[in-house]
Structure 1
Amino acid sequence: MWFSLLSCCVLACIALPTNAVDEPKIEILPNTDPLKVLEGGKLEITCRYSTKAEKPNPNSLIIKRLGDRQGDIANAVKLTNLGFDTHRSTSPGATQFDWTIITLKVSKSGSKLTIQDTGRYYCIYEDVYKFFQKDVDVFRVVSPSEVVYNETSSKLSCVPEFSTETTAKDYTLSWSKNGSQSLGDSLKDRYSLEGDMDQNLVISKPGRKWGDLGRYQCVFTFTPSQQTVTNYVDLIGPPKVNEKSFDPSKNYVQGDNLILKCPVTGYPFPTVSWLRDGVMLNAGDRVVINDEGSVLNGKLTIYSLEFSDKGTYKCMANSTYEGFQSAHATTIVRVKDRLAALWPFLGIVAEVIILCIIIFIYEKRRGKQMEDEADSPDYPANTQDHRTDEVRQRNVRT
């Protein structure tokens, strides 16, 4: 009797934690609460339900939203009725004793995600497990996302606007350029931050350095969760070609390779078109057009130049921003024969040869003329020296 009673106690002690462990589990991801999302960005929530039930119903797992966080959950609305995209999956266990996981993922992005999506989200299975909830704060930045540079100063703004349902609005704001480049590295001492939360970035004389153009980031860091949300503001400017870096003319020899790079700047990054004598160049067997850094089609290569490749080449830079005009630079390409360098030398050699022939003919004719004169009968063989006779006569008279 005592043995039976002891056995029952042991079995009861074993069964209690086992049942506790086998209780269904439900969770909502991500773990950050409240979750901060930028309007026009992407909101993604995952609800995961784990159970050891033999036949769980995947369709019983739902996510609802309640706009008024203090309201009754009974008034919450399914996200499938609010324009969210859904993806449901089930991972059944190998046996009936393994966990079965049902996953429901909902998402909304782009223009669909607005500040009205702020609220309290619930992860529910068969209207039983509704204690898993998450607050989502969707906010917008009311400042323009694009600013056309001004030669005197350009002002970039990042002013947030929150829903009335948002409870935690504590944040700090920081600025950077191109993802990680600090403002001190790129702008030196030509910038200042204005506003209570450094919401305005003022750049003085951005035209002085064309590299000031580009994408800037204002990063919100919310406390106490330390969640960060990044907003982008573009400082844009028209295409500009540095003609000093583009030689006005180039000389090549037949068979050489021609390489031209268009020294263009601007943001958005321009697209380059190449023309020869006003005719558009297209990639072919010998013509290769590649991107040069961030500039599309910024590099032109022509292999094994021919005489027909000579002409006036132009790189035409166009911006995707409709309000900007195109920019261009030209260079004259001359193609010479491979043996062109030998022609001056051959000319000198030919002149020397002709001069030698002339001298040779002249000397030959002159020698023959002298021989003919020597053989002539009129040529005096002996000539009397009269000066000797005069000297003798003078001596006699003396």
Structure 2
Amino acid sequence: MQGLQILVLLGLLGYCFGAGGSVGGGGGGGSDIEVVETEGVKRLIPEKPLLLSCNQTHGDNVSWKRNGELIVDSGRIKVHKQNSSLYFTSAEKGDAANYTCMPSQQTISVVYLKLNKKLPSSTTVLENDKMSLNCQVEGIPTPTVHWLRDGVAVEEAINSTRLELQDNDSVKDGKLRIEPVLKSDKGNYVCVINQYSLVLNTTTEVKVKDIYAALWPFLGIVAEVIVLCIIIFIYEKRRIKQEDYDDSDTDQDANEQKSPTDDKEAEVRQRK
């Protein structure tokens, strides 16, 4: 019986831990990222090659300027006069700038843009609690950030008394905060990052649980424990009653099985 009780307790503990894990919600990873380049904007990736090209070939007359200053060939940066291109063997963050091809005056903006951490694929919060989303992006020049909920700007979708946009370590309005959270706040939240013509997105699905959602698994566990205790109590009571009944039957059988010799000896003692 003790073994049965231990198994029941272990089962309950496993159920408790399982229920507690499921209430938290919210997973990691899984966002849509989109980066679109144009002829006038190029995104550099540190330690990767970068090629800038003019629309026209200028031959020996070609030259390039960086933010208005003439570029001189170095071990890492080369001006190829044959095709009027500027080549970086290994780009660096500091290479983000405006580059102009001379004499055509064609300008290309080279930018650095990186999403340090995606939003989780889903975010679960309790009703009347608070929610905070952080769009962790960095760039040169500093990108701009705005938030959408189901395709609508959060400033229009959520009451301003509950919504707050804060700056994070790298960008303005990088943090979105809602307090208190209502059931109507559920939906797909998108952090949209813009840098010139570059667009980068990261999305999370926000789920809002009932304020008592975390209580139901606990109440279920309590009810199960009570039922099991009642079953164990009834079982033990019946077992003890059965043992008492068996003991009484054994005593009666012993009395009935006395031999005739014992009766004769009792009669002789009485006569004396």
Normalising by the residue count of structure 2, what TM-score does the alignment of the two structures yield? 0.49
**Greater share of strand:** 1
Of the two, which has the highest radius of gyration? 1
Normalising by the residue count of structure 1, what TM-score does the alignment of the two structures yield? 0.36
Larger RCO (CA under 8 A, 6+ residues apart): 2
